[in-house]
Amino acid sequence: MTEIMRHNLNPREGHIVAMGGGGFSMEPNNPLLDDFVLGLSRRKPARVCFVPTASADAATYIVRFYRAFVGRCIPTDLTLWNATALPRQPKRTSDLADFIAEQDVIYVGGGDTANLLVLWRRHGLDVLLRRAWYDGAVLAGVSAGMLCWFNGGVTDSFGGLEPLHDGLGFLDATACPHYDGEPERRLTYQRVVANGMQAGYAADDGVALHFCGTSLAEVVSSRPQAYAYRVELIGGQVMETPLPVRFLGAKDPTVFAGA
């Protein structure tokens, strides 16, 4: 049995918030999804670590994160592409483990999912994030930061839209972000599911799938007309089933769309 499995057998206390699009990077004037993420933290103010690996640790992306989150939490960031540039960055595996364990929320940015997975595995961050999740942390992210938590899905990491098969597998399903934001996403995801890819979830921009442990608790949105779907192959045909979506800006929180 691995160290993580000895550590805690079930991630029942942890959360994953998988955003098809939105958050501070796509909706700088709409904090609804980011507020939802912060609200899940066990500690207030939350310690929030932004991980911009998928964007090659783009400096402008990091600046936008701090501008969006300063004053709302205790923000920090973790860079792996140029880890020696900042003295405050953890240098050794033991330092990285301690650093991740201190965080309440890990917020993963968008970009190249394939590169993200390679670098995380090289540094052992995949193992540390699973441990943090098992201990009750909130794992959140947009686009690549959505897709990484699943077994696979649809990515543009390889130049065009292609299937990805080596996600972290925290969630036993596949995923497709930007379902309404890029015309070919919907067609590509349905095609790869028809060709044998595991069933999963699709989320429009502005929509987040909230998992408690490995169970889908609810779907929330920052936009009134944004949706999520269960996509699966049934009887030889790809079926797209709308999921109930709670608009976070609704005056009546009991009103759901998409069901």
Crossing angle (nearest 10°) for helices 113-123 and 125-134: 90
Alpha helices (H) in the chain, listed in sequence order = 3-7, 32-39, 59-69, 93-101, 113-123, 125-134, 144-147, 183-194
Active site residues: 143, 178
Q: How far apart are CA 182 and CA 21, in angstroms?
A: 11
Q: Could you give phi then psi for residue 124, rounded to 5 degrees?
A: 75, 15
Q: How many CB atoms within 10 Å of residue 245?
A: 26
Which of these, 245, 221, 251, lies nearest to 23 by C-alpha position?
A: 221
Q: How far apart are CA 144 and CA 116, in angstroms?
A: 8
